[in-house]
Amino acid sequence: MTVELICVGTEILLGNIVNTNAAYLAEKCAGLGLSCYFQTVVGDNEERLTQVLSDAVSRSDIVILSGGLGPTEDDLTKNTAAKVCGRKLYVDDRSMERIAEYFAHRDMIPTENNWKQAMVPEGAIVLDNNNGTAPGIIMETENCRVILLPGPPGELIPMFEESVVEYLNKLTPEVICSQTVKICGISESSVETTIKDLIDNQTNPTIATYAKTGEVHIRVTASAKDKKQANKLIKPVVKELKSRFGYDIYTTEEKTTLEKAVVDLLLANKLSVTCAESCTGGMLSARLINVPGVSEVYKSGFVTYSNKAKRKLLGVKKGTLEKYGAVSSQTAEEMANGAAAASKSDVTVALTGIAGPDGGTKDKPVGLVYIACNVKGNVTVKEFHFQGNRAKIREAAVSAALRLMRSSILEYFSRVTFGK
């Protein structure tokens, strides 16, 4: 089956935002075994949206639109799509209630135009929006399914996963199953080189690699008459990948992020954790704390941006800061050790670096980051050189810190177990 994506929004046409919704939907649809031949971006303009949508409906089995479901004048995706599908709009009581609840819950009063979001096309399937006020809509016409999703990724992504995946899955006679093997610490090109023979000979299952910050995901996708058969095709390929990449694979679970893998490792081994962050300023803690259940292992953390804070909260020596500087392996190590002393945590991790745009020198350029990890007294310090702007450097540093935590913990236990 073919699927086509239409993203509606002047802010994309003006280049104000990067179209991450299209990338997200494209990746998900590919994973569901749908062929995507066209993606279009069009503004909030009835005539042009009608033209694009009519073309799409005539040539694709499924059309997914995102954006333009807001309450304001220029949000006209729903009305236009209803017209193209020959549907009238009516007031959906359930959507009314949900919008009223949404505002009551926030002690806010909806304005008149908010109720516009409760209008839905006749005969449509209405999808709950648990993160906003615009419900999703599915209209089934003779030859096409038209799916409308809200534009904000924080609403689109959960709605897609909670409602749309299941709907799309039912449309295809075959079942498409996929499993993602997530690898950290190896570049995409060397991952590709390692599995070139598998990629060259792929038929069913197919194998695709996706580069993420500090990670590479390999998706293995099989199509079969039922889930059991599909999984049977996937299993030997995943086994082969495991034998080739070993411990560099941190999970084979779709929903497991690198931070969840690290938290799971801490939980399984009853290890408490504390972060001491300088250049990343709380980002590592924030990522760990996004994992539900982290409270069992994460108790406290420090943001020590100034030298004074590094000394006062973590006991970094004045002499170390003077001799080696705040961005040095020595300071990183003392930060990790100081965090261990202050918090009595089993695992501590410390980051110090130059995120830019200023502060770089010839010896210590922007992008230089030291990360130290202390696992029950065993400290590893690593030096990294990241590229990009301030945000990108900090993000890459957090990802590297998670990888270092993982490898340090694994190494500690292999030493304990095998006496290495």
Contacts (CB under 8 A) with a second copy, residues 235-264? none
**5 versus 85: smaller Cβ distance to a second copy:** 5
Q: Is 126 in the site for a second copy (CB under 8 A)?
A: no
Q: Is 16 in the site for a second copy (CB under 8 A)?
A: yes
Q: Is 18 in the site for a second copy (CB under 8 A)?
A: yes
- Tokens matching residue 25: 């939907």
Q: Is 22 in the site for a second copy (CB under 8 A)?
A: yes
Measure the CA–CA gap between 255 and 236, rounded to whole angstroms. 21
Q: Is 414 in the site for a second copy (CB under 8 A)?
A: no
Q: Is 114 in the site for a second copy (CB under 8 A)?
A: yes
CB of 249 to a second copy, least distance (A): 18
List the one residue from 1, 38, 79, 360 that touches a second copy (CB under 8 A): 38
Q: How many residues bind a second copy (CB under 8 A)?
A: 111
Give residue 357's Cα distance to chain centre.
26
Contacts (CB under 8 A) with a second copy, residues 268-287? 275, 277, 279-286
**39 versus 79: smaller Cβ distance to a second copy:** 39
Q: With beta carbons less than 8 A apart as the criterion, state whether 276 and 314 touch.
A: yes
**384 versus 413: smaller Cβ distance to a second copy:** 384
Burial class (CB in 10 A: 0-12, 13-18, 19+), 286: middle
**87 versus 394: smaller Cβ distance to a second copy:** 394
3-state secondary structure of 7: strand
CB of 351 to a second copy, least distance (A): 11
Q: Is 385 in the site for a second copy (CB under 8 A)?
A: yes
Measure the CA–CA gap between 104 and 242, rounded to whole angstroms. 50
Q: With beta carbons less than 8 A apart as the criterion, state whether 33 and 94 touch.
A: no
List the one residue from 225, 227, 228, 308 that touches a second copy (CB under 8 A): 308
Q: Is 107 in the site for a second copy (CB under 8 A)?
A: yes
Q: Is 295 in the site for a second copy (CB under 8 A)?
A: yes
Please enumerate in sequence order all residues whose Cβ is within 8 A of that of 39, keeping only pairs 6 or more positions apart, or say none: 4, 5, 6, 7, 22, 26
CB of 41 to a second copy, least distance (A): 4
**Pattern of binders to a second copy over 132-171, x per CB under 8 A?**
x-------------------x-x---x-------------
- Tokens matching residue 120: 């839905």
**89 versus 282: smaller Cβ distance to a second copy:** 282
Q: What are phi and psi of 288, to 5 degrees?
A: -65, -40
Q: Is 213 in the site for a second copy (CB under 8 A)?
A: yes
Please enumerate in sequence order all residues whose Cβ is within 8 A of that of 359, keeping only pairs 6 or more positions apart, or say none: 366
Q: Is 58 in the site for a second copy (CB under 8 A)?
A: no
CB of 122 to a second copy, least distance (A): 25
**25 versus 412: smaller Cβ distance to a second copy:** 25
Nearest in space to 7 (alpha carbons), one of 166, 165, 149: 149
Q: Which residues pair with 372 in a beta bridge?
A: 350, 381
CB of 254 to a second copy, least distance (A): 10
DSSP state string for 165-192:
HHHHHHHSSSEEEEEEEEEESS-HHHHH
Q: With beta carbons less than 8 A apart as the criterion, state whether 336 and 350 touch.
A: yes
Instruction: Specify the residue for token string 């945000």.
Output: 391
Q: Is 395 in the site for a second copy (CB under 8 A)?
A: yes
Contacts (CB under 8 A) with a second copy, residues 347-366? 356-358
Give residue 324's Cα distance to chain centre.
37
**42 versus 409: smaller Cβ distance to a second copy:** 42
Contacts (CB under 8 A) with a second copy, residues 176-205? 187-190, 192-193, 196, 199
Q: With beta carbons less than 8 A apart as the criterion, state whether 3 and 34 touch.
A: yes
List the one residue from 93, 105, 142, 173 that touches a second copy (CB under 8 A): 105
List the one residue from 1, 45, 242, 410 that touches a second copy (CB under 8 A): 45
- Dihedral angle, C-alpha 85, 90, 94, 97, nearest 10 °: 130
Q: Is 301 in the site for a second copy (CB under 8 A)?
A: yes
- Tokens matching residue 419: 């006496």
What is the DSSP secondary structure assignment for residue 128, as one 8-state letter? Answer: P
Q: Is 26 in the site for a second copy (CB under 8 A)?
A: yes
